Each structure stands twice: as structure tokens, then as C-alpha cells.
């Protein structure tokens, strides 16, 4: 029987006082907590399954409130997310909800969050994001033909392919990351509409998707992420990705979800 496995971990990193990331996997949410041990869940393929990471905007109030509000709504909307338009509508409602919550409590003013994720349907994969959290298509795990997981590879043989769209300004030459984002859910004093990035593709057995906050992709180079995901799958892969972020200084909250479709 075809099924979906999701392995996830969330951690504040080494420099932040608390975790402003939140995660949704189907009906299950994880908000602002610490899980140094990856957790794996399995779901039958068929009904829509949403997996998403929301990263509260740093330097503004209550990022953890905004991110948790969004993932909890996505968990409620999840079974109805049966197409691109449904996902766009859900993200629009999440944006309204963040602003409405901020309007009710002055201490929450300008709170905001990014969000990125996938919805897995029986025969289709929907990818969505607002902000700079990422969804990355990942090739199959396993050694290269020569037995070396980090061995030589052709330029066209990359494991990683980013399928989300970063809402960030163009980077100056020599820079690979920026903390600036051009849109988010909430994040401004007055309501601002969003234009979510949503795309659809055919779902194939063996698909692996990495959904993560920029606490992973900012400090850890793509080549290192690629090597880890070539060599490992499931809990070991997620744990090694987290270790790499910590070894790179753990400058931000890091949340990782590795999604695999089997059968």
C-alpha cells in the first residue's frame, strides 16, 4: 500500500533564546518547542496531507505566535487542500488571521511569519511558500556508483532542486543569503495582501521533499545538504542535517521535515 513518511525536527539553534518556528504535519502541529530527536510519522496516500514550516519574523514581536497561528490553521484546512486555488485561499485566510490577531492585541503588532510546504494528493504534489523558508526536491538516498556518497558527480546530477520561490531581493555579488524578505504573512502595521507561490506537479513513487526554515539553508552549503541526503534517509538524514546546522554555528532556529513517498 502506498504511504507517505514524514520525519521532522525543530530546534532553537545555538544563538536564539527561544524557538519561533512552527511545523504542521497533517493534523499534528509542533509550535515553538525543541525536538533534538527526529520524529517519524506515516500516513496512507490518498487524502490531502499538508506538511509545512512557518518561521516567525525575527526582530519583530511574537514571531512564535504568528507561526503557530498559521500552522494550526493549515492543520484545520488540510483535508480540503485539494488543488492550487484551495492552497492560495488558505494562505490568504492565514494572512488575514495573523493581522486580525495583531489588531486585537497591541503587543502583537507587526508580528509575522514565513511559510513553506507541500500538499501531497493521490496523484499530485502541490508546493507553496510565502517568504524565504524553502521546499527542496531531493533525489533518492544511497551511495554513488563508486560507493562514495560524496563522490564525484556530473554538474547535471545534483540531488537538490529548490522548488519554492524565495521572496528576497536580489543578492549582491558574493552574498549567498539575506535576512530581508519581500513578503510574509502579517509583518506590517497595516494589512498587506500576499501573492503566494503555488505550483503543481505529478506525484511519483520515490519522491523525497525537504521542507525547512532558513536556519538550515543559510548556514549550511547546498553541497553539504546534498551529500547528507545522498547518504541518508529518514531520521538519520534529518539528524545529520541538524548536526550540520549546529556545526555551522546554529545561528537561527532550525526546523526540518523530510517527506518521502513510498510505493
Whole-structure pTM value: 0.92
Beta bridge partners of 57: none
Predicted pLDDT at 171: 78
* CB contact set of 8 (below 8 Å; sequence gap of 6+): 23, 25, 30, 35, 38, 39, 40, 41, 238, 255, 256, 257, 258
- Please tell me the predicted confidence (pLDDT) of residue 34: 84
Low-confidence ranges of the chain (pLDDT < 70): 142-158
Q: 209-240: per-residue pLDDT in tens?
A: 999 999 999 999 999 999 999 999 999 999 99
DSSP-derived pairing of the beta strands 112-120 and 49-56: antiparallel
Q: Where are the alpha helices (DSSP H) in the chain?
A: 63-77, 84-104, 214-217, 222-231, 234-247
32 touches 20 (CB < 8 A): yes
Amino acid at each position: 500500500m502506498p504511504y507517505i513518511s514524514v520525519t521532522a525536527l525543530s530546534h532553537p539553534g545555538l544563538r536564539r533564546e527561544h524557538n519561533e518556528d512552527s511545523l504542521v504535519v497533517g493534523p499534528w502541529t509542533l509550535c515553538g518547542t525543541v525536538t533534538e530527536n527526529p520524529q517519524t510519522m506515516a500516513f496512507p496516500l490518498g487524502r490531502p496531507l499538508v506538511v509545512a514550516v512557518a518561521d516567525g519574523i525575527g526582530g519583530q514581536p511574537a514571531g512564535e505566535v504568528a507561526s503557530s497561528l498559521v500552522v494550526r490553521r493549515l492543520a484545520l484546512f488540510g483535508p480540503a487542500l485539494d488543488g492550487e486555488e484551495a492552497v492560495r485561499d488558505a494562505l490568504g485566510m492565514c494572512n488575514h488571521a495573523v493581522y486580525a490577531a495583531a489588531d486585537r492585541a497591541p503587543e502583537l503588532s507587526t508580528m509575522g511569519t514565513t511559510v513553506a510546504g507541500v500538499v501531497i494528493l493521490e496523484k499530485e504534489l502541490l508546493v507553496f511558500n510565502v517568504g524565504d523558508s524553502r521546499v527542496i526536491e531531493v533525489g533518492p538516498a544511497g551511495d554513488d556508483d563508486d560507493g562514495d556518497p560524496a563522490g564525484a558527480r556530473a554538474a547535471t546530477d545534483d540531488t537538490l532542486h529548490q522548488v519554492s520561490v524565495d521572496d528576497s531581493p536580489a543578492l549582491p555579488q558574493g552574498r549567498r543569503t539575506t535576512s530581508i524578505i519581500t513578503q510574509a504573512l502579517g509583518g506590517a502595521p497595516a494589512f498587506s495582501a500576499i501573492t503566494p507561490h503555488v505550483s503543481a506537479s505529478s506525484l511519483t513513487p520515490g519522491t523525497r521533499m525537504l521542507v525547512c526554515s532558513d536556519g538550515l539553508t543559510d548556514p549550511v552549503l547546498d553541497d553539504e545538504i546534498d551529500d547528507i541526503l545522498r547518504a541518508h534517509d529518514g531520521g538519520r538524514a534529518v539528524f545529520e542535517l541538524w548536526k550540520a546546522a549546529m556545526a555551522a554555528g546554529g545561528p537561527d532556529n532550525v526546523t526540518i521535515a523530510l517527506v518521502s513517498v513510498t510505493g
